[in-house]
Amino acid sequence: MMRMCVTVLVLLLTAVLPAGAEDLHDLFDAPCARYGVPKALALAIARKESALNPWIMNVEGRTVRAASRADAMALSQAALQSGLSFDIGVMQVNSQWLRRYNLPLEDVMDPRGNIQVGTWILGQEIKRHGLTWRAVAAYHTPHTDSERGRTYAEDVIRRISGRETPAVSGDRPPESSGPALTRDKEAAASPMLVKRYVVSND
30 exposure class (CB count in 10 Å sphere: 0-12, 13-18, 19+) = middle
Put the strands of the sheet holding 186-189 in their side by side order.
180-183, 186-189, 199-200
**Structural domains present in the chain:** 2-9+24-163 (1.10.530.10)
Pair 67, 79: CB distance under 8 Å: no
Terminal Cα-to-Cα distance of the chain (whole angstroms): 36
Closest CA to 153 of 170, 132, 171, 126: 132
DSSP labels, 137-182: HHHH-S-TTSHHHHHHHHHHHHHHHSS--PPP-SSS--SS--SEEE
Q: Give the pLDDT band (50/70/90) at residue 162.
A: low
Average pLDDT of span 145-172: 69
pLDDT tens by residue, 10-38: 333 333 333 443 489 999 999 999 999 99
Task: Grade residue 44 by pLDDT with cuts at 50, 70 and 90.
Answer: very high
Residue 188, strand partner residues: 181, 199
Report how far residue 82's alpha carbon sits from residue 3's, in angstroms, rounded to the nearest whole number. 28
Residue 127 has pLDDT above 60, yes or no: yes
C-alpha–C-alpha distance, residues 198 and 185, integer Å: 14
> pLDDT category, 144, cuts 50, 70, 90?
low
Report the amino acid identity of residue 88: I
Q: How confident is the model over 131-143, as a mean pLDDT?
A: 89
Tell me which of 40-49, 142-151, 167-176 is least confident. 167-176
Packing angle of the helix pair 2-14, 111-129 (nearest 10 deg): 170
pTM: 0.71
pLDDT digits (tens, 9 = 90+) for 83-114: 999 999 999 999 999 999 999 999 999 999 99
Please give the mean pLDDT across all residues of the chain.
75
Q: What are the DSSP E strand ranges found in 26-111?
A: 56-59, 62-65, 86-88, 93-94
Work out the percent of the chain whose per-residue pLDDT is above 70.
68
